[in-house]
Amino acid sequence: MEVLIEQILIYLSVFLLCGIVIFYYLKKQKQTTLKTEQKIALAKEEGLFEPVSLHPYINLSTCIGSAACITACPEKDILGIIDGKATVIKASNCIGHGACFHACPVEAISLRIGTEKRGVELPHVNESFETNVKGMYIAGELGGMGLIKNSVEQGEQAIESMFKKKNPIEKGVFDVVIIGAGPAGISATLTAKKYGMSSLTLEQDSLGGTVYTFPRAKIVMTAPMNLPLHGKVKLFNTSKDELLTLWQEVIKNNEIDIKEHTKVENILPLNNGKFKIETAQGETFFAYNVLLAIGRRGTPRKLNVPGEDLQKVAYRLIESERIQDKNVMVVGGGDSAVESALLLKDRNKVVLSYRSDKFSRIKPKNREKILQAIQDNSVNVSFNSNLIKINEHDVMLNFSDSGETHRIQNDLVYIYAGGELPTNFLQKAGVQITKRFGHIIKKHS
């Protein structure tokens, strides 16, 4: 009898202990869920919940809630846990590292572009990254693959596919013209050098492409990758600056010349199997193959006002901390314009010019900050104004409500008038485009 009572007490102790563990587990899970729900509510309010590009998609029937994806993601609050399952929080802040995809122990995460409601236009490419236009290839972000490591691999594989075709040698005709000097373009350039192919790389902005526009301290790589002509590179917790420095060294060591600030206007397939490439600078090149390694963000839209070609005019803000004691004009009324004005205001005299009479399409947090900046006079916001002329030391603003024109002292101009997506550019070259909804991005082998 005593033994029976002792066994019952042991069982009761075990059940009690298990009950306590389960109680605190469920309590912690509830607290985690509540915090994540609050973050999601805030993300929706700030316009960060809906994805704008490549993003993680969680299969809830497979997810076991290990939180490995959250630990692996170097960005803040992209993912969270609700009721023991992973969920997306700030999807629009995802820049496509793919760390979550690789970290998930049960493969519950896929990488997708577009949603069920919002389609994204993507070009058709085959397993060799060749489009429906023979000899024209696409690698990297334009094809939907924003992950740096996979973009590098795609650029290499696309060139390898071209090399197998063995083009004839002809003076004045390149084996390949590579358009874009981002991850895919740099990898392709190095691979072409490796195989002894004649190549030319054109970049409308600066070396690094999309990576160059990341905030200075942004972590852009989280895993090792193989870089042609260099070998395996371990890039854990690597910043943008470190990655750009690596690329510059490899390009310099291999005596490769990349033509920066050269925008391609037209790609014309010729009847003889070649391509004619025309640039905005009036140059013309010929090639047997073309590799498009450009981003999806397109070309910044210009205002087409006198003086817009001056060196003091820019369409993106990089390393704002280096700009001090300047008279700065920011043009635009969206989040990019407002955020740039806010970043510059503490060390510079900033004027924000917006053609409408109020901000109508910015995130709540940006609205709150810019209204505070207006109140404390740290940013001079000129509503109902249009920039009509840019001079070396000043700019001209026209006010639509009064008809007056003001001359304002100025050192730098930042224009945020949207972007021109490359869809027309591709279709003009004959590339087939299809709108995809929730398209799963697969890594080519």
pLDDT at 165 over 80: yes
Quick count: other Cβ atoms within 10 Å of Cβ 309? 8
Q: What is the 3-state secondary structure (H, E, C) of the chain?
A: CHHHHHHHHHHHHHHHHHHHHHHHHHHHHHHHHHHHHHHHHHHHHCCCCCCCCCEEEECCCCCCCCCHHHHHCCCCCCEEEECCEEEECCHHHCCCCCHHHHHCCCCCEEEEECCCCCCEEEECCCCCCECCCCCEEECCHHHCCCCHHHHHHHHHHHHHHHHCCCCCCCCCEEEEEEECCCHHHHHHHHHHHHCCCCEEEECCCCCCHHHHHCCCCCEEECCCEEECCCEEECCCCEEHHHHHHHHHHHHHHCCCCEECCCCEEEEEECCCCCEEEEECCCCEEEEEEEEECCCCCCEECCCCCCCCCCCCEECCCCCHHHCCCCEEEEECCCHHHHHHHHHHCCCCEEEEECCCCCCCCCCHHHHHHHHHHHHCCCEEEECCEEEEEECCCEEEEEECCCCCEEEEECCEEEECCCEECCHHHHHHCCCCEEEECCEECCCCC
- pLDDT, residue 216, reads 47
The answer for residues whose C-beta is within 8 angstroms of residue 71's C-beta and 6 or more apart is 103
The full set of domains in the chain, from first to last, is 2-113 (3.30.70.20), 121-298+422-440 (3.50.50.60), 313-419 (3.50.50.60)
Select the more confidently predicted residue: 365 or 271.
Answer: 271
- pLDDT, residue 238, reads 67
For residue range 112-126, what is the model confidence (pLDDT) as tens digits? Answer: 877 777 777 778 788
For residue range 233-277, what is the model confidence (pLDDT) as tens digits? Answer: 776 666 667 777 888 888 888 888 889 889 899 999 998 889 999
For residue range 387-398, what is the model confidence (pLDDT) as tens digits? Answer: 999 999 999 999
* Cα 348 to Cα 409: distance, rounded to the nearest angstrom: 13
pLDDT at 95 over 70: no
For the chain, the first-to-last Cα distance in angstroms comes to: 69
- Span of 91-105, 146-160, 162-176, 214-228 with lowest mean pLDDT: 214-228
The answer for residues whose C-beta is within 8 angstroms of residue 26's C-beta and 6 or more apart is none
Q: What is the mean pLDDT of the chain?
A: 84
- Span of 151-160, 204-213, 319-328 with lowest mean pLDDT: 204-213
- pLDDT, residue 159, reads 94
Select the more confidently predicted residue: 23 or 65.
Answer: 65
For residue range 395-420, what is the model confidence (pLDDT) as tens digits? Answer: 999 999 888 999 999 999 999 987 76
pLDDT at 193 over 90: yes
The answer for residues whose C-beta is within 8 angstroms of residue 307's C-beta and 6 or more apart is 313, 389, 390, 391, 392, 395
- pLDDT, residue 221, reads 58
pLDDT at 324 over 90: yes
